[in-house]
């Protein structure tokens, strides 16, 4: 299991994926004395902009991957849809391990894995055909949501199904799917933890999260009492997931707080949007602790150091974003993306209060 040794000052951390999570990881790695090397298929990577090195190549290019691996002292990823087959030859060098990545990439596999550890996802059924969908709806009922089993993010690849008629009208994608019953939740929240190679685990405080059209829009701490009452149980499951995977790095699990306790939604084998508040709100941010874990350094304190924190995602045009800076509580993080496409995360603002 990686990492077998500590990465020394001046060492290079390789990051697969070139988006904003990689950018914030690279920014957190710099004060620890590390250089980051971004591996991305994109020419205009926002992570590469703040990193020492970049390789622009497809994730399926074994020669480029081999050269990248030789140049790095530790390797991690910031994007969970990185194809795992081409990475097998590097399996013992990547943290978190490929099993975590493979589990999180397939919603059906992930739900089964979590059920085996005593977790409770929404009622679900794998769907590969219209007949499967009809049977799933007969058993689970409506409303529900049909999701592609793989490659979905930020609400993409999801279709809300309110009635049997909706199900008959839906055009099934040419991909494995899963049908989930709609969960009546009071709130959504996430558990974010960091686990070291020696099995030490630390949790950040759990935030309450609001989504808009499947995309996270707001994260708030402290959460409402209904969430606070369910955090312990959700942490217990998250810890079992991390231990079972021999996880190294930051891991996120998202939950629905319901009248019957926490219902597992999904996990992310990486730093998470609902943890951005930790940059200003916690003693050590999720980004710094992820780098510490994959580099074999001691983990930092995850305590909350503010009395209140709120993170809003900036989606769409951010040309006037500097106006938030007149608010003394606001911390602005722009990701440097040149094009504001619909639903694209362009930055975030965290507001923190000490009193």
The burial class, CB within 10 Å (0-12 / 13-18 / 19+), for 283 is: middle
Is the CB of 182 or the CB of 203 nearer to ligand AMP?
A: 182
User: Pick from 73, 78, 180, 280: which binds ligand AMP (CB under 6 A)?
Assistant: 180
Q: Report residue 138: phi and psi, to 5°.
A: -60, -40
Pairing between strand 12-16 and 35-40?
A: parallel
Residue spans of alpha helices (H) in 91-214: 98-105, 107-116, 130-140, 164-169
**What is the secondary structure of 32-92 as a DSSP string?**
GT-EEEEEES-TT-TTGGGSSEEEE--TT-HHHHHHHHHH-SEEEES-TT--SGGGGGGGG
Q: Are 345 and 36 in contact (CB under 8 A)?
A: no
User: Pick from 155, 246, 336, 343: which binds ligand AMP (CB under 6 A)?
Assistant: 155
**214 counts as binding ligand AMP under rule CB under 6 A:** yes
The CB-of-77 to ligand AMP minimum distance in angstroms stands at 19
User: Pick from 81, 266, 324, 332: which binds ligand AMP (CB under 6 A)?
Assistant: 266
Dmax over CA atoms of the chain, in Å, equals 61
User: Pick from 87, 122, 245, 282: which binds ligand AMP (CB under 6 A)?
Assistant: 122
Candidates 32-40, 92-100, 181-189, 193-201; binding stretch for ligand AMP (CB under 6 A): 181-189
Q: How far apart are CA 77 and CA 270, in angstroms?
A: 7
**310 counts as binding ligand AMP under rule CB under 6 A:** no
The CB-of-334 to ligand AMP minimum distance in angstroms stands at 24
# of chain residues touching ligand AMP (CB under 6 A): 13
**105 counts as binding ligand AMP under rule CB under 6 A:** no
Q: How far is CA 261 from the centre of its chain?
A: 22
The CB-of-211 to ligand AMP minimum distance in angstroms stands at 4
**188 counts as binding ligand AMP under rule CB under 6 A:** yes
**126 counts as binding ligand AMP under rule CB under 6 A:** no
Candidates 21-29, 41-49, 169-177, 180-188; binding stretch for ligand AMP (CB under 6 A): 180-188
Q: Are 60 and 53 in contact (CB under 8 A)?
A: no
The CB-of-265 to ligand AMP minimum distance in angstroms stands at 5
Binding site for ligand AMP (CB under 6 A): 122, 145, 152, 155, 180, 182-183, 188, 211, 214, 254, 265-266
């Amino acid at each position: 299991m990686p990492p077998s040794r500590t990465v020394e000052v001046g060492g290079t951390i390789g990051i697969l994926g070139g988006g904003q999570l990689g950018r914030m990881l690279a920014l957190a790695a710099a004060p620890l004395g590390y250089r980051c090397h971004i591996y991305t298929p994109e020419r205009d990577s926002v992570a590469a902009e703040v990193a020492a090195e970049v390789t622009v190549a497809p994730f399926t290019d074994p020669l480029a991957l081999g050269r990248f691996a030789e140049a790095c002292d530790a390797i991690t990823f910031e994007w969970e849809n990185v194809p795992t087959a081409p990475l097998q030859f590097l399996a013992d060098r990547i943290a978190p391990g490929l099993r975590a990545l493979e589990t999180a990439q397939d919603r059906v596999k992930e739900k089964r894995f979590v059920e085996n550890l005593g977790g409770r996802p929404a009622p679900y059924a794998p769907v590969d055909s219209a007949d499967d969908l009809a049977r799933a709806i007969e058993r689970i009922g409506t409303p529900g949501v049909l999701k592609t089993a793989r490659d979905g993010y930020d609400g993409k690849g999801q279709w809300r199904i309110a009635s049997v008629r909706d199900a008959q009208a839906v055009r099934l994608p040419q991909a494995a799917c899963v049908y989930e019953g709609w969960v009546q939740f009071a709130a959504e929240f996430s558990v974010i933890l960091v686990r070291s190679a020696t099995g030490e685990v630390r949790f950040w405080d759990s935030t309450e999260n609001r989504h808009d059209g499947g995309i996270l829009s707001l994260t708030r701490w402290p959460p409402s009492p209904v969430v606070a009452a369910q955090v312990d149980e959700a942490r217990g499951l998250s810890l079992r997931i991390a231990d079972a995977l021999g996880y190294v790095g930051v891991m996120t699990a998202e939950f629905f707080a319901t009248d019957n306790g926490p219902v597992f939604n999904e996990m992310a084998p990486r730093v998470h949007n609902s943890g951005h508040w930790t940059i200003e709100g916690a003693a050590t941010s999720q980004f710094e602790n992820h780098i510490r874990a994959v580099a074999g350094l001691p983990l930092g304190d995850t305590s909350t150091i503010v009395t209140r924190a709120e993170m809003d995602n900036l989606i769409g045009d951010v040309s006037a974003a500097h106006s938030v800076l007149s608010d003394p509580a606001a911390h602005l993080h722009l990701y440097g993306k040149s094009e504001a496409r619909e639903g694209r995360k362009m930055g975030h603002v965290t507001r923190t209060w000490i009193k």
